[in-house]
């Protein structure tokens, strides 16, 4: 997951970060060429599985209309050169990639909050199209001008929800929306989406995420309060819509009371029992998966661990003694000493796999060689010997480690080496 820019207090940011979701580790990316200028309230969208396009924003002094493309493999940004008409500079808009086009709606610019709709071509290299903008004017019940809204794509539809607009003539005032507007790509027109019950309180600057056939709404701001509530928007026949919906109080952050009839209460109790039964079954299955024997874990032998050898040799480079004069076994031992004394924050991502395997090999050699798995079943995912518990022995791959696991892994590793 890539992060660029934003705002902290009054400062616009131009930093570039990536979150590795295998091990939940953040890294700041600083040495991959020039970055786009700092900004907040920009809009971005993925182009396939390799690129991300970002456009517009506010740099603290002016609205922006530039377009940058990030290659997520090389981690390089490229400003897109666009000929012809360009949309007015803006921030707080949405950018949604639909097939070969980037669709941009709304935002705030020098003329105030806008409701124009634009399409950008030329983002797909294989199409060999010259990049260019086209303004779209579609029939139907178009949304009013707004910024801070969300647009989510599913199938042949784009769903626009919420946002921040203005009203009045002589004196302007803020308006926050909670309407749902659909862009039907088949009939190529806007439509209002009717809902069968009360909508969430009006808001802007929220997130709306498609999960399967459901839309999950979280958070937002209504000019006075910041929201922390979750809402589902689902088809009428979805099981979620059958649940009890709490009635909204006058203030969106107050606790909501629910009143039910006897028959409804019975159905709730029945459903609760079904859920308890399902949870019990899930616990039984989880337990059965956890009960595996010590001998089932296959650990790469040290003599075949090429990554370990490469790290050990790299550690020797630049030292007084050349690595040619030191045996591979000595180099590996020096790597172990390095890990033994290292702080978790300096452990690089590429070291985690070899470190985890070496940790597992040491446990196997020192504790398990002469122990029967029948006597020591690994029942809950960790091994215990006397006062020592080793919780990472059964992890099959370093990608299963979390960020807060690394200090614990190093601590157990030091303990094994110290025995």
Q: What is the pLDDT of residues 91-131, one digit of tens each?
A: 999 999 999 999 999 999 999 999 999 999 999 988 889 99
Which of the listed ranges 58-62, 316-320, 397-401, 408-412 does the model predict with the highest average pLDDT? 58-62
Q: Is 273 exposed, middle or buried, given 0-12, 13-18 or 19+ CB atoms closer than 10 A? A: exposed
Could you tell me how far CA 85 lies from the centroid of its own chain?
Answer: 34
pLDDT tens-place string over residues 140-167? 999 999 999 999 999 999 999 999 999 8
116 and 134 Cβ atoms separated by less than 8 Å? no
Closest CA to 366 of 329, 305, 409, 413: 413
Q: Supply 254's token pair.
A: 């107050």
Question: Would the pLDDT of 273 be above 60?
Answer: no
Distance (Å, rounded) from C-alpha 418 to C-alpha 337?
Answer: 11
pLDDT at 169: 74
The percent of residues above 70 in pLDDT, for the chain, comes to 79
**Stronger pLDDT, 400 or 392, i.e. the higher one:** 392
127 and 140 Cβ atoms separated by less than 8 Å? no
CB atoms within 10 A of CB 114: 21
Question: Would the pLDDT of 254 be above 50?
Answer: no
Could you tell me how far CA 101 lies from the centroid of its own chain?
Answer: 23
Which of the listed ranges 92-96, 182-186, 270-274 does the model predict with the highest average pLDDT? 92-96
pLDDT at 245: 52
17 and 29 Cβ atoms separated by less than 8 Å? yes
Q: Provide the residue count of the chain.
A: 419
pLDDT at 274: 55
Angle between helices 349-363 and 405-418 (to 10 degrees): 40
Question: Would the pLDDT of 276 be above 80?
Answer: no
Bridge partners (DSSP) listed for residue 215? 210, 233
Edge-first strand listing for the sheet containing 157-167: 150-154, 157-167, 173-184, 189-192
Dihedral (CA of 397, 417, 305, 382) sign: negative
Q: Is 247 exposed, middle or buried, given 0-12, 13-18 or 19+ CB atoms closer than 10 A? A: exposed
Note every long-range contact of 34-37, with CB atoms under 8 Å and residues 24 or more positions apart, other chains counting.
34/77, 35/4, 35/77, 36/4, 36/5, 36/66, 36/68, 36/77, 36/79, 37/64, 37/66
Question: What integer is the mean pLDDT of 264-279?
Answer: 49
Question: Would the pLDDT of 371 be above 70?
Answer: no
- With cut-offs at 50, 70 and 90, classify the pLDDT of residue 327: confident
Question: Would the pLDDT of 282 be above 70?
Answer: no
pLDDT at 249: 42
- With cut-offs at 50, 70 and 90, classify the pLDDT of residue 325: low
Q: pTM for the whole thing? A: 0.60
- With cut-offs at 50, 70 and 90, classify the pLDDT of residue 247: very low
Question: Would the pLDDT of 278 be above 70?
Answer: no
Q: Supply 291's token pair.
A: 């009960």
Question: Would the pLDDT of 283 be above 60?
Answer: no
Across the chain, mean pLDDT equals 82
Question: What integer is the mean pLDDT of 23-46?
Answer: 92
Question: Would the pLDDT of 377 be above 50?
Answer: no
Bridge partners (DSSP) listed for residue 360? none
């Amino acid at each position: 997951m890539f992060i660029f820019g934003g705002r902290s207090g009054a400062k616009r940011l131009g930093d570039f970060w990536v979150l590795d979701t295998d091990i939940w580790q953040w890294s700041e990316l600083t040495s991959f060429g020039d970055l786009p200028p700092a900004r907040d309230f920009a809009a971005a969208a993925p182009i396939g599985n390799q690129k991300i396009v970002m456009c517009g924003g506010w740099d603290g002094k002016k609205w922006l209309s530039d377009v940058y493309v990030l290659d997520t493999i090389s981690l390089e940004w490229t400003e897109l050169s666009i000929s012809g008409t360009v949309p007015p500079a803006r921030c707080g808009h949405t950018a949604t990639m639909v097939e070969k086009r980037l669709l941009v709606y709304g935002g705030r610019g020098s003329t105030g909050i806008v409701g124009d709709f634009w399409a950008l071509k030329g983002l797909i290299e294989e199409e060999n199209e010259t990049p260019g903008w086209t303004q779209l004017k579609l029939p139907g019940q178009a949304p009013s001008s707004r910024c801070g809204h969300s647009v989510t794509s599913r199938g042949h539809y784009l769903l626009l929800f919420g946002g921040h607009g203005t009203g009045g003539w002589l004196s302007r005032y803020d308006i926050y929306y909670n309407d749902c507007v659909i862009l039907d790509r088949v009939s190529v027109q806007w439509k209002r989406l009717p809902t069968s019950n009360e909508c969430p309180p009006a808001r802007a600057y929220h997130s709306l995420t498609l999960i399967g056939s459901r839309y999950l709404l979280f958070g937002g701001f209504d000019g006075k309060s910041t929201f922390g509530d979750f809402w589902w928007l689902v088809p009428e026949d979805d099981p979620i819509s059958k649940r009890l919906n709490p009635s909204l109080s006058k203030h969106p952050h107050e606790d909501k009371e629910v009143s039910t009839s006897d028959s409804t209460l019975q159905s709730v109790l029945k459903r609760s029992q079904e859920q308890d039964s399902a949870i019990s079954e899930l616990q039984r299955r989880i337990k059965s998966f956890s009960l595996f024997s010590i001998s089932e874990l296959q650990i790469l032998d040290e003599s075949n661990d090429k990554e370990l050898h490469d790290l050990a040799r790299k550690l020797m480079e630049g030292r007084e003694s050349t690595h040619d004069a030191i045996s591979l076994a000595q180099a590996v031992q020096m790597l172990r000493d390095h890990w033994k004394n290292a702080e978790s924050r300096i452990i690089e991502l590429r070291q985690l796999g070899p470190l985890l395997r070496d940790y597992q090999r040491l446990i196997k050699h020192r504790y398990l060689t002469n122990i029967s798995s029948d006597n020591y079943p690994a029942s809950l995912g960790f091994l215990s010997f006397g006062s020592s518990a080793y919780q990472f022995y059964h992890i099959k791959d370093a990608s299963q480690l979390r960020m807060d696991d690394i200090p614990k892994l190093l601590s157990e590793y030091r303990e094994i080496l110290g025995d």
